[in-house]
Amino acid sequence: MANETPVVQHFIRQIVAADNASGKHGGRVVTRFPPEPNGYLHLGHAKSICLNFGIAAENGGTCHLRFDDTNPGKEDIEYVESIKEDVRWLGFQWDLLRHASDYFEVFYRGAEKLIRLGLAYVDDLSADEVRAYRGTLTEPGRNSPWRDRGVEENLDLFRRMRAGEFADGAKTLRAKIDMAAGNINLRDPAIYRIRKVPHQNTGDAWCIYPMYDYAHCVSDAVEGITHSLCTLEFEDHRPLYEWFLEKLDLPNDPALTEPLRASGLWLEPSRPQQIEFARGNLNYTVMSKRKLIALVQDGLVDGWDDPRMPTLAGVRRRGFTPAAIRTFWERAGISKQNSVIDVGVLEGCVREDLDARAPRRMAVIDPLKLVIANLPEDHEETLAFPNHPKDESFGTRAVPFSRELWIEREDFMEAPPKGFHRLVPGGEVRLRGVGIVRCEEVAKDAAGTVAELRCTLDADTRPGMPGAERKVKGTIHWVSARHALPAEIRLYDRLFNVADPDDDSDGKTYRDHLNPESKRILRGYVEPSLGEAAPEAHFQFERLGYFVADRRDHAPGRPVFNRTVTLRDTWAKLAKG
């Protein structure tokens, strides 16, 4: 994959370079992208994908795709498949595909080892009681009454938990660390809980499931991960990550990983290092998976791939390109400082990419009939237009022209304001690639709405004629009414109309800030060649913006186009007032 933008040096690249120079990890670089299959990936996940796969590729290493499927009540195979598709669409391919559930037996053996070492115990406290015993940031926690159970009793109870003898929530297995620790994550965190829920991979084989903090570090270790790249919210969890790895000592305890040898899943275990970076936050959107699920389930959007959603499936359907997203996150850089990036910067990267790659076409999305009265009724000809004004390699295309055209309704005004340089009664404008026309007559319908313009074409101003260089201030686009195809044009905009929809300080929620203008469906006309456009083909509709053929609904002879971005950042103007 070619670099779209110069590589930005950052602290993670520096750490990996220093590790390689010192021979740490034996010169290996192994990363992983570990999503939970409980929703669709969003733009914030793309930052982690680009970082993990990018660091591995830059250093001749490998990157694993690992599904953190330890919470079966919220997981679904639909999410698994969507995640794999999104990673591939972004331009990456994993070297190894694994699931946390591949290691369930390893997790269990590790938990029994902690019990035998006197470092874990079965607790009978309820979830509410555990919270009450935990203490606060300023007050230490209290030991559970069950903390001093003996090793044999704990082993017996834990094995009975696995056998399904106890009800959900009746017992947990907790690490025995320090209830007075300043870091609350070290106050005897849960390792296992009882969940009698079928698992998408293992079925009914298990009714106890490991907690994330435990499963994640063990998964990293058994896969030989060298650099475990996490977002900043896991920084306070790193001491626990290190504690588990130290006590389990996976590289030197083959009994723990024996099940993987038997199943052919064994890799050389390692002692990975966790490194945290700031997550990717964008304004005018929400990234909370809970809120995104609510938007979908409550019908506030048209599914996970609604083009207004910040999901990768959504921005893909909107027409954002993988190259633009990769460029955006590379330019944003990696740091330890949380910040919010203007979504307009991402839209700018999309414009930049599409300006170079999108062929030009003409389309009219709010049509007004224009008749060239001084041409014969059966007039018809074919004009040659460049497919890209900046790149001759795109070639040219044939565009039909006839006496009756469709133009944009906004390109005509009866009483124009100062500075309006398009068509007015008695005024002239250049028709793109045709010549100069004068508006001679305005016809209206019974409601008084302008229905048709009757114009005359100055034949001397046609391309190649002596008057072709005659100056007029306005140039407008058009399509031939006789040849153009009716098309559904979907104009998408930002889903929220405030920069921080998560801010509820005024008593409003993100739902109160949904942008009523975020989706408009129009019936327009497009050049006939667009009827054969493939789904997900990108185009610049001249003077209107960048559009993409909808990947679901577009079909030959039935064009459906989504606006990806406007030609210019209209939100920047609004922000300036």
| 285: nearest Cα among 514, 41, 566 | 514
Which of 13, 24, 36, 291 is the catalytic position?
36
279 noted as active-site residue? yes
Query: Tokens standing for 173?
Result: 């297995």
Query: Is 68 annotated for ligand binding?
Result: yes
Type and span of the H or E element at 154:
helix 151-162
Query: Is 362 annotated for ligand binding?
Result: no
Q: How many helices (H) and strands (E) does the chain have?
A: 14, 27
Helices 43-58, 11-22: axis angle to 10 degrees equals: 30
Query: Is 113 annotated for ligand binding?
Result: no
289 noted as active-site residue? yes
Pair 278, 335: CB distance under 8 Å? yes
Query: Tokens standing for 385?
Result: 């237009």
Pair 406, 369: CB distance under 8 Å? yes
* Dihedral of alpha carbons 53, 55, 57, 63, sign: negative
Query: Is 492 annotated for ligand binding?
Result: no
Neighbour-count burial of 354, counting CB atoms closer than 10 A to its CB (0-12 exposed, 13-18 middle, 19+ buried): buried
Expressed in angstroms, the distance from the first to the final Cα of the chain is 41
Query: Is 339 annotated for ligand binding?
Result: no
Query: Is 379 annotated for ligand binding?
Result: no
Query: Is 574 annotated for ligand binding?
Result: no
Which of 28, 149, 289, 490 is the catalytic position?
289
Query: Is 44 annotated for ligand binding?
Result: yes
Helices 212-222, 238-248: axis angle to 10 degrees equals: 60
Pair 173, 146: CB distance under 8 Å? no
- At 245, the amino acid letter reads L
Query: Is 42 annotated for ligand binding?
Result: yes
36 noted as active-site residue? yes
Query: Is 48 annotated for ligand binding?
Result: yes
Alpha helices, DSSP H, located in 232-384 = 238-248, 254-263, 289-297, 312-318, 322-332, 343-357
Query: Is 338 annotated for ligand binding?
Result: no
Q: Find tokens 């000809």 and name the residue.
A: 381
Widest CA span in the chain? 102
The Cα–Cα gap between 348 and 68 comes to 34
* Dihedral of alpha carbons 144, 148, 153, 159, sign: positive
Query: Is 46 annotated for ligand binding?
Result: yes
Alpha helices, DSSP H, located in 335-420 = 343-357
The phi, psi pair for 213, rounded to 5°, reads -60, -30
Query: Is 464 annotated for ligand binding?
Result: no
Which of 279, 291, 357, 438 is the catalytic position?
279
Query: Is 45 annotated for ligand binding?
Result: yes
**Residues annotated in a binding site for L-glutamine:** 68, 212
* Residue set of the binding site: 36-38, 42-48, 68, 212, 231, 287-289
Known binding-site residues for ATP equal 36-38, 42-48, 231, 287-289
Query: Which residues are catalytic, by number?
Result: 36, 279, 289
